Amino acid sequence: MSPVILSAAGAALVLDDSGPGLPRVRHFGAGLGPVAGPGLLPALASPAPPLLPAQGDSWYGRPGLSGVRDGEQWPVRWTLERCDVAAEPGSGGTVTVTASDARAGLELVSELVMDGGGLVRMRHQVRNAAASPYRVEGLVCALPVPARAGELLDFTGRWALEKVPQRRAFGHGVWSRENRRGRTGHDGTGLLVAGTEGFGFRTGEVWAVHAGWSGGHVHYAERIAEGVSLLAAGELLEPGEVVLGEGESYRTPWVYFTWSGGGLDDASARLHGHLRARSLPVRPVTLNNWEATYFDHGLDRLLELADKAAAAGIERFVLDDGWFRHRRHDRAGLGDWYVDEGVWPDGLHPLADRVRKLGMQFGLWFEPEMVNPDSDLAREHPDWILGRAERMPPPQRHQQVLDLARPEAYAYLLERLDTLVGEYALDYIKWDHNRDIAEPVHGGVPGVHAQTVAVYRLLDELRRRHPALEIESCSSGGARIDYGILARTDRVWTSDSNDALDRQAIQRWTGLLVPPERLGSHVGAPRDHVTGRSLPLAFRAATALFGHMGVEWDLTSAGQEELEELGTWIALHKRLRPVLHAGRVVRADHPDPSASLHGVVLPERAVYAFAQLTSRVDIAPAPLRLPGLDPAALYEVRVAGPAPERSGMPEWAAAPVRLPGSVLGELGLPAPVLRPATALLIEVERV
């Protein structure tokens, strides 16, 4: 029998569907070129795991499906019923597998999709075909990786310092990253990567997995003595959270798999291609007033801030926390989604009207999933809080979680959001989620799954009613960044820290999963409100420029020179935006750990940033080898935007030079000698 082959963009997935069990994955990785039918399978890896590994398939690692039936228990052995394939060589395609186990009383439908960029996404659906209930305890998606993948990379972090990388050897056993925070989490790995030893941004062969789910989730890598290794991910279910009655089904979230033969950058490009398949309008430069005014919502002050913002070239004004009833601090008011009449006697219209008269869009902050115990909503509907009425969950940030799976709570939030979006013709919502979910109970069982589904449904319905509305996912910064939430929102708030030094690393690693145009990146105040570190405006702006640029700074306190400099950087961002928000992201494996070099490349243009982060050890800096250019093309190279002090600049920075891509990529440019917390932008154009 001929194998099932999906191939695109130099990647391939090969399935053996000869049965009688589930198809086995013979290969996931590099494209195999023109292959000849049945002669391929004997040459490929054996043993090979099935799509859903189980002990009946001689798999003695973690099972793909785990569950318990209330009644007679049967281990699952799937019988393949159908394998439907719709594929075009070189363009990807889909495979839908249908299987069942009559003895176990279960039916399975597995879907695999490879898009034109070579990214694979997978999900399973299990159906209970028996009369007794079936408790799903785990259902994951997995693909094998070869033995040469000897190293693992994953990510951890905390509030205001997300996506901190950690690496280890890929040995026998399981390396599992499990999240029970009820949201994706500051310490959520986002990507779990396996690769050849020493892989980097531009070198090595890598495989990676991402669970597109905003509730509890698991990512793991496993290697067993039988010579099989795999990456797997899925929803992390609590006992009793999903119980299927007869005829009921549970379907996993989409799980995404990517492969690269050229380091992390190529794997990242495949992931970016998936998100970019949903086009976005031009990303307006955004001002958020939070770090400028906090809870001080004096109209005159906000109007002055709007005037300064418009003069600097800002295109969107977002009013953050503090506009609704009883919200003079963070201990009251959450859930009371009515404009505070005492602060805003004429509603938000005076501010919204001025903002639009100045040519800017208007946006508003919400935290819909949360409630303060000190609120009208909590006093009127204490039963709407997610948890047991007899013993409330421990509070965090003076707030509890609303049970959105309750129809009444869901209906209240939809009505309030819909009404306010309509009344103020909102262009934008900043949708926040500022605490982990502890002890969630809905209907007497664990409630994170139901909560996550309800949040998705609320977002989907709001978008249906207001198709032009843009939504930002913020969750104490970067605690809810995943493809489940990004399917319903237009950008994420990358971190609550605007400290540009920390942001350099946070944005680099978050950017493996999310392209720049969806990463909120703001110019903060001269002294950062999280770290207390003071950094020059040029470095803050150069860092924010490589994302969805914005400002979070009290511009009424800035001097005229600062405002003019900020305006220059915003104008530069707008000029470079067609490249920054459409090009391929590249990151150099720069030899000096005190510096970084990254960029965004289109066939005709590219923009790079060389950032000196800390003090160098070497007297002479390493050359700047610009990745991603066509070696056969000729390029003009020049400094973009305001340049750092000239004393440390090489000769090429004084005037444009022309060099072939082979020289720029292999030999590189002489590097400037920069002080710490300084960046140089380089613009490259094909001639």
Report the sign of the C-alpha dihedral through residues 554, 555, 556, 562, in that order. positive
Which entry of 432, 499, 502, 528 is annotated as an active-site residue? 432
Q: What's phi and psi for 83, nearest 5 deg?
A: -135, 95
Helix axes 560-580, 537-544, angle to 10 degrees: 20
Contact predicate 608/654, CB 8 Å: no
3-state secondary structure at position 75: coil
Angle, CA 110 vertex, CA 104 and CA 114 arms, to 5°:
165
Supply φ then ψ for residue 555, to 5 degrees. -70, -15
DSSP designation for 2: P
User: 3-class secondary structure for 192-248?
Assistant: EEEECCCCCCCCCCEEEEEECCCCCEEEEEEEECCCEEEEEEEECCCCCCEEECCCC
Closest residue by Cα to residue 210 from 242, 184, 228, 249: 184
Residue 336 designated active-site: no
Whether the Cβ atoms of residue 661 and residue 646 lie closer than 8 Å to each other = no
CA separation (Å) from 593 to 331, 516, 615, 616, 621?
43, 23, 10, 8, 11
Give Cα separations from 224 to 21, 43, 62, 174, 389 (angstroms).
21, 22, 10, 9, 45
Which residues, in sequence order, are bridge partners of residue 84?
96
**C-alpha span between 460 and 454 (Å, rounded):** 10
Residue with token string 């906000």: 302
Q: Phi first, then psi: what are they for 400, rounded to 5°?
A: -120, 175
Phi, psi of 94 (to 5 degrees): -130, 150
Distance CA 305, CA 684 (A): 36
Burial class (CB in 10 A: 0-12, 13-18, 19+), 629: buried
Classify residue 73 by burial, with Cβ atoms within 10 Å: 0-12, 13-18, 19+.
exposed
- Whether residue 20 is preceded by a cis peptide bond, meaning omega within 30 degrees of 0, is yes
Instruction: Tell whether omega for the bond before 373 is within 30 degrees of 0, i.e. cis.
Output: no
List of E strands, 484-559? 491-493, 519-524, 548-552
Helix (H) or strand (E) holding 638: strand 634-639
Tokens 């969107």 found at: 316
**432 noted as active-site residue:** yes
**Identified catalytic residue from 436, 490, 496, 502:** 496
Q: Count Cβ atoms within 10 A of the Cβ of residue 536 and give its class: 0-12 exposed, 13-18 middle, 19 or more buried.
A: middle
Cα–Cα dist 212/486, whole Å: 9
Contacts with 522 (C-beta within 8 Å, 6 or more apart), sequence order:
286, 288, 498, 544, 549, 550, 551, 552, 553
Contacts of 164 (CB under 8 A, 6+ apart): 155, 156, 157, 505, 509
In angstroms, rounded to a whole number, what is the distance separating the alpha carbons of residues 596 and 624?
10
Give the sheet arrangement for strand 24-30, strand by strand. 4-8, 11-16, 24-30
Q: Could you give the C-alpha distances from 144 to 259, 314, 474, in angstroms and in order?
A: 11, 48, 34
- Smallest Cα–Cα separation from 237: which of 137, 387, 134? 137
> Hey, which residues are catalytic here?
432, 496
